A and B are shown apart, each in its own frame.
Chain A
Amino acid sequence: MEIVKKMSKRVMMSRRAVTKVQAAIIAVVIIVAVVVAAYVWWPRPPPGPIMKLLATYHGPDPDEMKVAEMMKSELAKLGIELEVRGMEWVAQWDLAKADPMKAQHIFIFYWWPTILSGYDFLVNMFHTEEEIFFNLGYYYNSEFDNLIDEAYSLEATDPKRALELYREAQKKLVEDDCASIFLYDLMNTHVIREGIGGYVDNPAYPHVALFRDLRPPAGETTFRRAEYGTIITDLDPSSQFSNEIVIIAGNMYEPLTWVTPEGKVVGVLAESWSVSEDGLTWDFKLRRGVKFHDGTPMDSTAVAESFERTRRMGMGAAFIWACVDEIVTFEEDPYLVQFKLAFPAPLDKIAAASYASWVFSPKVFDIGDDDAVHEWLNGPPPAGVFAGDPPYDVGTGPYYLAEWVPGRHVVLKRFEGYWGGWEGGPYYDTIYIEEVVEPATREEGILGGVFDWTYMLPKEHLEKIHEGPVADVISVPSFQNLLGLLNMKSPPTDNPLVRKAIAYAIPYQDIIDEALLGYGMQSRGPVPAGLFGHIEDLFQYTHNLEKARELLREAGYTPPASAMAAAGSMAYMELLVPCFYAMTCLVKREWEYTPT
């Protein structure tokens, strides 16, 4: 028995040994087979991206981030690897200004006009610059420069011809040179409590509420506006160049003219005006019986001295007066002021600019020199913010500044002596503006009824707020547009074919639907609709990947024939997509990739 046991044990052992060896051999064979099969069948990874580009955008803006990401994924389908970099504005700007050859290829940013003409967009972003400033795509075309300069000088005297010249200039810019991607014209959205009437958003002055237009519900006297942060930085009407206009400036100060929401120039402190035939001499007849908040009557001396100070200080938007050579007043007629220009320019529109166009009381010059006045107007804390009693401004507007705690709140009060009078009505007596940084808090506040007006809430919530019983959401077109300036100097975007291919690759409508949730429309050229210089039938790029591929091939590149093939070549999806791609290739037994 024992022998049998021993024998069987030995047999079993040998059997086991055999199976182990067999298993090892089988395993090796399988591995070799797999490796061979993989070697035979596995497609070599397709070559890398056909070009690498860099796009920069204003990092803190969630809309711009979405736009950049969508551009990235769409360009990937063409085999273009787009690096998107969200930056602080100043850093983004510095990178662009330093050296065009090392700078970004696509500069994504918003523009809105200071002077209410298409020229503002064309000259700032596309006019040849010796030192780079806002021409951040480094566009240079002397023909284009001459066209827009001539058009601007003709705007007042021969608008028809001016528009023709703008059309020609923009055809060069958009259709021939494709200097930029024109993404969308933004719609502004505001949330206003139900029951308040009279609010009009003027695209020329985005987010500006003229409080005298508002009609309070019965029994209410205070209008409470929630702002998105510390945005009043300077209350000097000569130098302010930030968001002061948005909140209060237009209520405290008034310009000579104003542009209506329909785009018409109307007189405010000017009653009428005329221009000489050569466009070089402008006569403005001033409104009579206007008083500043300090009681001084408004006349031609006040107007001239205001603009002279703004020009002298040369801060903020003082450049709008660059065309003015001399401001003349007449002793015999204190309500006539004459501007002599160095070159023809549409002065009626310039006088309606959102900045540097304010008229203020000459009494401020009693305080001291320009710097002393500046300091007084910005009343430095801790000396009780301002010395003495309000008003703390020197304008003619319907409301005066009664209190300002920087970073906290502003209080405006009704100016009883306003030239427009306070008949009709009802009007608000007091305007309270609170700075509320956190969007969730602003939303809570408007829904809870402690604010009457706010904006910059998460777009996803707007519909729900609008449907609710508390507040209405108003959305209106603005003169603000988003552009992606294309680098004209650095390869590969120095090639117009490449620029056009990029312009055709942008999913314009998807961007508006997904990033903006519909609050915008695709731009037609650099000048937003409604502004002088906008061309209704200007050439517009559409989302057309086939066309983009064609242009790239023409430029000597070999874009992948399909999105799937392109995905395989993109470095950032190195692992996942090639596997998926290889599997589909195995299944379909065909190369989708066009060999070079």
Chain B
Amino acid sequence: MGIHTYVAKRIALSALVILGTITITFFLSRMVPSDPAALWAGQHPTIEEVRKARVMLGLDQPLHVQYFSYLTKLMQGDLGVSIRFKRSILGDLLFYLPATLELIIAGFIIALAIGIPLGVISAVKENKIIDHLTRTVSIAGASIPVFWLGIVFQIIFFGMLGILPLTGRVSSEILIANPIKRITGFYLIDSLVTGNWAAFTSVLVHLVLPAITIATYPLGLCMRMVRASMIEVLRENYIRAARASGIPERTIIFRYALKNAIVPAFTAIGLSFAYSITGAFLVEFIFSWGGVGSYITYAITTIDYPVIVGVTIFVCVFYVAINLFLDIFQAVVDPRVKY
């Protein structure tokens, strides 16, 4: 089996997973005891308004007809219309996504920048004090709930020390006096491109607490994965041979060992990145971030089922796509992978 067949097979499987998710979420959302038509009509609607809404939303059709028309629309990239906001879900998602992506990418960079070196140190100093310390940190990082940590950070850094902002992506003063022109939706990029330095600093400062909060889980995971595979690699014969030939320890660790150790760790770390998009929802909630998390939170509490289904499908596609990318990446990079 060549690499092309492998890739084709992986893509076909991924498509199947996505179709399964769509089907399950669609039918689950219809089984929930609620009346979307009444939601559409508003808080105190009349019977006539509800009836009108039901026809307009196509809810008077049999379920399988609704399902296939939903699939057809989905193929054309139409996720439907939100019941509460009465706007296109895809448009809303694209609007909110940059905020969430900015947050998880920042968090992921922090996780990698701290996690990999700590993992390496931990492996090199196996069973020494520093190893125990970093392992404790990694377990804590992977197990402390982010919603708790976020609030504690807020109390310490905003409430007690007063050095970091409480909520939002940018301060309200900047927003009113010096607004960021929306180009990509990534505030860091937009403010940089437009040369809005005051806004750039404000965005950066606002990013610190939520990014650290969201980084804790991938950080702990990254540290442990790197440590485990580093220990394994350091015991290999070729490392011993390298040591015997007098190659400096630094070169051995970073050039010879880490290069081989990082590839297996990469899959787990990559998946934790995909996973952090759902973790971001909680963090967004606490820091009033205004990303996909805020969008889905409101949708869930108000049973806005097209949004729930839409975001679920989106997250599923995101996760599957990253998984697929990692698989292919590994197959290409690592000659040991068999397919």
Contact = CB atoms under 8 A, between A and B. Distances in A.
Does B associate with A? yes
Interface of A: 60, 88, 90-91, 93-95, 114, 124, 131, 133-134, 222, 224, 229-230, 233-234, 239, 241-242, 314-319, 374, 378, 380-382, 384-385, 403, 405-409, 411, 430, 432, 434-438, 440-441, 444-445, 447-448, 450
B151 A90 contact: no
Contacts of A411: 175-176
Given A382-B185, A441-B286, A448-B158, A222 B176 contact: yes
A440 B287 CA distance: 11
Among B175, B179, B288, the one with the most A-chain Cβ atoms within 10 Å of its Cβ is B288
B322 to A, nearest CB: 23
Given A318-B49, A381-B92, A432-B175, 6 more contacts: A88-B303, A224-B172, A382-B91, A408-B288, A409-B172, A437-B294
B264 interface: no
A447 B159 contact: yes
Contacts of A406: 85, 92
Contact of A405 (B38, B287, B290): B290
B47 A133 contact: yes
B334 interface: no
A314 B91 CA distance: 27
Contacts of B47: 131, 133
A441 B151 contact: yes
Contacts of A430: 176
A470 to B, nearest CB: 12
Given A95-B33, A314-B52, A441 B166 contact: yes
A107 B178 CA distance: 50
Nearest to A407: B294
Interface in B72-115: 84-88, 91-92, 94-96
Contacts of B58: none
A266 B43 CA distance: 27
Interface residues of B, number: 54
A434 B168 contact: yes
Given A88-B303, A239-B42, A435 B182 contact: no
Contacts of A234: 42, 85-86
A378 B86 contact: yes
Contacts, number: 146
Given A233-B85, A382-B94, A444-B166, A241 B45 contact: yes
Interface in B266-292: 285-288, 290
Nearest to B158: A448
Contacts of B39: 90
Contact of B172 (A222, A241, A385): A222
A448 B166 contact: yes
B44 to A, nearest CB: 6
A340 B48 CA distance: 23
B288 A444 contact: no
A166 to B, nearest CB: 21
B141 to A, nearest CB: 22
A95 B34 CA distance: 9
B35 interface: yes
What 6 A-B pairs are tightest by C-beta distance, nearest first? A408-B290, A381-B95, A241-B42, A90-B34, A230-B298, A407-B294
20 contacts: A88-B34, A93-B35, A94-B33, A114-B44, A131-B47, A133-B47, A239-B42, A241-B45, A315-B42, A316-B41, A319-B46, A378-B85, A382-B91, A382-B95, A407-B96, A409-B168, A436-B288, A437-B297, A438-B151, A440-B151
A434 B206 CA distance: 15
A224 B167 CA distance: 13
Contacts of B94: 381-382
B298 A444 contact: no
A438 B286 contact: yes
A241 B91 contact: no
Given A314-B49, A407-B294, A444-B159, A91 B42 contact: no
Interface in B166-198: 166-168, 172-173, 175-176, 179, 182, 185
A241 B43 CA distance: 6
Contact of A229 (B86, B175, B298): B298
A99 B167 CA distance: 46
Contacts of B166: 441, 444-445, 448, 450
A175 B129 CA distance: 77
B301 interface: yes
Nearest to B47: A131
B26 interface: no
Contacts of B301: 60, 88, 229
A430 B173 CA distance: 10
Contacts of B294: 230, 407-408, 435, 437
B162 interface: yes
A407 B166 CA distance: 17
Contact of B288 (A224, A385, A437): A437
B229 interface: no
B31 to A, nearest CB: 12
B290 A407 contact: yes
A316 B43 CA distance: 7
Given A91-B33, A434-B172, A134 B44 contact: yes
B227 to A, nearest CB: 35
